[in-house]
Amino acid sequence: MRIPDIQQRLRELGDALLQPLLLPIPGEAIGKELYHLANSLSRRKAVRKAPVTSVPMTPELAERIRECARLHPDWTYERIAQHHGVNTARVSEVLAGKRW
């Protein structure tokens, strides 16, 4: 089941519970269906889909990135990242002071 389908069915069950005198489904059946819907919302196990290609960030590498940005003010984050073999986001974090 897809999430929108589960949401719609939960709304229908909620509406049925709000009108107990007109309840077309026995309470036990609703309980079982709610249990089934809850199990349908489980996530798949997280797996890494691509190999790690960036070098690990170290304080020394962060310092080299800062120095490179200082020496080459016309370089983009992407160019600095490629030069040092890291992700562009890591360059942004280092230069913003969020890493090392």
Q: At what angle do helices 77-84 and 88-95 cross, to 10 degrees?
A: 110
Give the model confidence (pLDDT) of 60-78 as tens digits. 999 999 999 999 999 999 9
- The pLDDT of residue 11: 83
Give the model confidence (pLDDT) of 10-50 as tens digits. 888 877 777 766 656 676 777 788 888 888 887 778 787 88
- Global pTM reads 0.52
